[in-house]
């Protein structure tokens, strides 16, 4: 049974952290608090750290705190805080927590609330972090649905507008899966719900429809949830293409102007292609590991290449990475960044009884660190590592991706807070086949073929 003590000292970062019974408890509590005024928060101070503009969210919190006898401190834009002098979010949180009992945070970068919670000793409430989530808005939306419709379970809800960048939509759609609501998503193709959100709905077995015709979707709906184009979030979301200009600033006739295109004369285009085809990358001198190309095997059908061989020179001292997936060997070497002068023996596309084809790496007089071994496991999860001493194997074990890790990968979401705060990326393995990880901060899912190593 849920009680008020279950929320004592608890952060509110994402809606996924709340169960159905906890959400219903919050809604019941909101019913009571709607009629309460007085001194419940007397002597308590709430800090509103809003790094981007807000009207309804900030003022509604300040009003509620004031009606309950508390007081508010804070700022409404980053320009009037010490951020303008180079202070980080982590620095601000560590300082401000000494002045208050609760932190309310809004920031244009995704995952900022979770970062703040790592550095704060007091509860942190996410009031919107980029295009990621807006859990407190979701609580209000659920409360409104129940009050206006008498229920939440089984409602037919149509979401229309900017579903790609609307953080309130992302949060509410996720929560409605716990109430068996029927969801219809209406938007133009370039503003549809992000792929990771759709994937999450599929994994939870949620039935939903995607449409572009709002008039066709509305007649069957109990609720129509409209959202405007989120220009600030679209601008922050780097790799997500921003909406076309006509969608933001279309004229009164609804015309859609095509973006300008840069044209090259045909002759110049042909010259560029020719230059690109014959330009060779310069070979670095005196840098990086020494490669032994005679041990690299090739396609036996090519008359210019030596035939594949299993005769790989023995190693006296060092490390052997075996059973690497075919094609993964050279990527592993690039990621390992071995010291200059290290001798490396490489076998590419070798025959393997268990894998068909494999790559192999032998590194003389070098042992991989735990972090380096973990990086190899993320590239080739079925690989094995052997330690060689005086031509003998003194230790051998399989490599497996860590369940959770920090500092090995970079988040590929340019809107993630890790890029501005310069903190190491933190991830959990979301799926092992195919291998996919999820950023702890912005919750972006990253498949193995998009890994960027730190």
CATH classification at residue 419: 2.30.30.20
Query: Does 173 share its domain with 212?
Result: yes
Domain for residue 372, yes or no? yes
The larger pLDDT score, comparing residue 406 to residue 275, is at 406
Q: Of 195, 230, 265, which marks where a domain is finished?
A: 230
Query: Does 102 share its domain with 153?
Result: no
Question: Residue 308 pLDDT > 60, yes or no?
Answer: no
In the chain, the number of structural domains is 4
Q: How much of the chain, in percent, has pLDDT values that exceed 70?
A: 80
Give me the mean pLDDT over the 7-13 stretch. 96
Q: Is the dihedral of CA 244, 249, 252, 257 positive or negative?
A: negative
Helices 370-379 & 329-336 angle (0-180, nearest 10): 150
What's the CA angle centered on 109, arms 24 and 201, to 5 degrees?
45
Domain for residue 250, yes or no? no
Query: Does 294 share its domain with 379?
Result: yes
Under the banding of pLDDT at 50, 70 and 90, the label for residue 82 is low
What is the reported pLDDT for 159?
A: 95
What is the reported pLDDT for 86?
A: 79
Residue numbers of the domain that contains 347 = 290-398
Domain for residue 58, yes or no? yes
Domain for residue 196, yes or no? yes
What is the reported pLDDT for 35?
A: 80
Query: Does 298 share its domain with 374?
Result: yes
Question: Residue 286 pLDDT > 70, yes or no?
Answer: no
Under the banding of pLDDT at 50, 70 and 90, the label for residue 83 is low
Domain for residue 12, yes or no? no
Give the list of residues 6+ apart from residue 348 with CB closer than 8 angstroms, or none.
296, 297, 298, 326, 327, 329, 330, 359
| DSSP H/E element including 118 | helix 112-119
What is the reported pLDDT for 34?
A: 82
Q: Of 357, 383, 398, which marks where a domain is finished?
A: 398
The larger pLDDT score, comparing residue 251 to residue 411, is at 411
Question: Residue 240 pLDDT > 50, yes or no?
Answer: no
SS3 300: coil
The larger pLDDT score, comparing residue 278 to residue 18, is at 18
Please tell me the distance from the alpha carbon of residue 246 to that of residue 330, in angstroms, as a whole number: 45
Under the banding of pLDDT at 50, 70 and 90, the label for residue 200 is confident
Q: Of 77, 95, 129, which marks where a domain is finished?
A: 129
Domain for residue 240, yes or no? no
Question: Residue 163 pLDDT > 60, yes or no?
Answer: yes
What is the reported pLDDT for 90?
A: 93
Query: Does 65 share its domain with 160?
Result: no
What is the reported pLDDT for 213?
A: 94
Question: Residue 85 pLDDT > 70, yes or no?
Answer: yes
Whole-Å CA distances, 152 to 20, 146, 181 = 11, 6, 7
Whole-Å CA distances, 153 to 60, 142, 183, 202 = 27, 11, 12, 19
SS3 350: strand
Give me the residues paired with residue 364 across strands.
Answer: 318
Query: Does 299 share its domain with 362?
Result: yes
Largest CA distance in the chain: 89
Identify the CATH number of the domain in which residue 386 sits.
3.30.70.140
Domain for residue 255, yes or no? no
Domain for residue 91, yes or no? yes
Whole-Å CA distances, 134 to 128, 247, 298, 441 = 4, 23, 53, 14
| DSSP H/E element including 216 | helix 214-217
Choose among 194, 186, 1: nearest CA to 110: 194
């Amino acid at each position: 049974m849920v009680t008020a003590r279950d929320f004592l000292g608890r952060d509110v970062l994402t809606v996924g952290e709340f169960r159905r019974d906890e959400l219903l408890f919050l809604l019941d509590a909101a019913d009571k608090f709607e009629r309460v005024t007085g001194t419940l928060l007397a002597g308590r101070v709430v800090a509103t750290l809003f790094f981007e503009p807000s009207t309804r969210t900030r003022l509604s919190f300040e009003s509620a705190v004031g009606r309950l006898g508390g007081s508010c401190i804070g700022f409404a834009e980053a320009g009037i805080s010490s951020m303008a002098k180079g202070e980080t979010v982590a620095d601000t949180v560590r300082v401000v927590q000494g002045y208050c009992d609760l932190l309310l945070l809004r920031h244009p970068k995704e995952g900022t609330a979770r970062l703040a919670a790592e550095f704060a000793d007091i509860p942190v409430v996410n009031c919107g972090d980029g295009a990621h989530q807006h859990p407190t808005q979701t609580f209000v939306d659920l409360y409104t649905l129940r009050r206006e419709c008498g229920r939440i379970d089984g409602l037919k809800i149509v979401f229309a507008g900017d579903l790609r960048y609307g953080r309130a939509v992302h949060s509410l759609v996720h929560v409605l899966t716990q109430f068996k609501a029927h969801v219809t998503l209406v938007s133009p193709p370039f503003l549809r719900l992000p792929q990771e959100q759709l994937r999450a709905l599929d994994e939870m077995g949620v039935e939903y429809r995607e449409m572009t015709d709002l008039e066709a979707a509305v007649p069957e709906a109990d609720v129509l949830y409209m959202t405007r184009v989120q220009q600030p979030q679209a601008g922050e979301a780097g790799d997500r293409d921003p909406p076309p200009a006509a969608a933001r600033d279309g004229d009164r006739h609804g015309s859609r102007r095509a973006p300008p295109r840069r044209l090259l004369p045909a002759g110049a285009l042909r010259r560029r292609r020719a230059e690109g085809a014959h330009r060779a990358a310069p070979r670095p001198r005196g840098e990086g590991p020494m490669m032994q190309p005679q041990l690299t095997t090739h396609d036996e059908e090519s008359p210019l290449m030596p035939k594949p061989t299993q005769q790989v020179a023995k190693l006296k001292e060092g490390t052997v990475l075996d059973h690497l997936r075919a094609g993964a060997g050279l990527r592993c070497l690039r990621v390992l960044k071995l010291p200059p002068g290290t001798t490396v023996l490489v076998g590419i596309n070798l025959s393997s009884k268990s894998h068909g084809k494999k790559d192999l790496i032998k590194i003389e007089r070098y042992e991989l660190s735990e972090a380096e071994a973990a990086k190899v496991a993320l590239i080739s999860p079925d690989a094995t590592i052997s330690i060689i001493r005086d031509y003998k194997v003194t230790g051998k074990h399989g490599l497996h991706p860590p369940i959770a890790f920090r500092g090995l990968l970079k988040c590929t979401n340019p809107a993630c807070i890790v890029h501005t705060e310069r903190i190491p990326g933190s991830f959990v393995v979301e799926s092992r086949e195919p291998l996919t990880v999820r950023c702890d901060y912005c919750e972006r899912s990253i498949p193995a073929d998009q890994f960027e190593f730190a």
